[in-house]
Structure formats: structure tokens, C-alpha cells
Amino acid sequence: MTSPHGNPIERQLQDQLTGVWQSPDGELIHIKKFENRLLIGFLEFDEKRGQYVAINSEAVLTTNENRTFVFFRIPGESDEFFFFVVSNFTDGIITLRRPDPEVFRQGVKTGTISGKIVDRNLYGNSYQRARLDADEDSFFKFLKEKGLDNCFAKDSEITYRKLEHPQRGSEVRD
């Protein structure tokens, strides 16, 4: 997707997202609000170099018909935004669903959503995916026609929990 779609979320919600979040498998991501943008940082292991590499991305959260979406991109690497639907956002918990790649590939192949099929290689595995260039109305029309649960399968959910930091001046003592 070449741009985020939907209405930007309120600043108060952006503030709730700042901090360190952890996935069930221990992956940590750090979210920081910077110049009215949400920046996300995390570590990824680079097998070729045998070391961890910091990955920085930019996120935009939007809403459409009472649904929240996360669009993110890695500045300098691509102008493309990737997206998730937020299935749960409560105090200290956010659950995201990944898009079902086959639904979007078929949508592009049949012409029901604008985009193109691109060949990719990730960790030595080749695959095809849909690169969407649909306008906002067409994107949300496609989601509505296909059904959100078909476009973002429940079994693709990943839940992050916000880690709380001790108050300053209240160090842990033995």
C-alpha cells in the first residue's frame, strides 16, 4: 500500500502506545512519539552477519467504521506501507491481525482491488504477494465485501503487552 487509509487516531491513543511492548514469544518493540509520528524500533537477528540489527519503522494508526488499522513502513527501504487490523486495544494490551496474503493476491488477480503481484524473497524463501495501490474508498469497500475476518484471519493474531517501568526514585532493593 502506498499510503495509509482511514482517519488518524486521536493523540491520546497515540500517547497510550508509547513505551515498550512484548509479544508472547518475548519479542520487544519500543514505540516513541516523535514529531507527531509514531516510531517503532526492534531488534532482528541478521544470520549473514551473525549479529542483531536495529530496525526502525514508522507507524500510522487510523480508524474506519469503528475499526482501527496500523500502517507501517521502514523509511529509506520502501515507500510501501504494510498493514494490520487491531482486534483488541485495551489498557496495556494490543492485539493485531495480519492480512491473509491469499485473499489480497486473489483480489489483485481478479481485479477486485487495485494493485500488482510482486515476487519477494524472505530468508531464502521465494513467494508472491500483493502490493496494493487502491484508493481509500476501494480499499475499505474490498474489506467490507470480503469480510474483515476473511481478510484478517483470527489465527494470525499476535498480542503485545505493555511493560510497565518502575516509578523514578523507587528502585528495587534487596
> To which residue does cell 528495587 refer?
172
pLDDT score recorded for residue 104: 96
Alpha-carbon gap, residue 137 to 148, rounded angstroms: 15
> To which residue does cell 500488482 refer?
116
> Long-range contacts: 83-91, Cβ < 8 Å, 24+?
83/1, 83/4, 84/152, 85/148, 85/151, 85/152, 86/61, 87/152, 87/154, 87/157, 88/159, 89/13, 91/16
pLDDT score recorded for residue 78: 75
Instruction: Give the domain 7-163 fold.
Output: Lipocalin (2.40.128)
pLDDT score recorded for residue 127: 82
Domain boundaries, the chain: 7-163
The b/e string for 160-169 (b: 16+ C-beta within 10 A; e otherwise) is bebeeeeeee
Contact residues for 45 (Cβ-Cβ < 8 A; gap 6+): 51, 52, 53
Name residue 95's amino acid. T
Alpha-carbon gap, residue 162 to 150, rounded angstroms: 28
pLDDT score recorded for residue 23: 92
> To which residue does cell 514529531 refer?
35
Tens digit of pLDDT per residue, the chain (174 long)? 888 999 998 887 888 899 999 999 999 999 999 887 899 999 988 888 999 999 999 999 999 998 999 999 987 777 889 999 999 998 899 999 999 999 999 999 999 999 999 988 766 778 888 999 999 999 999 999 999 999 999 999 999 999 987 555 444 444
Name the residue among 5, 15, 4, 154 with its Cα closest to residue 65: 5
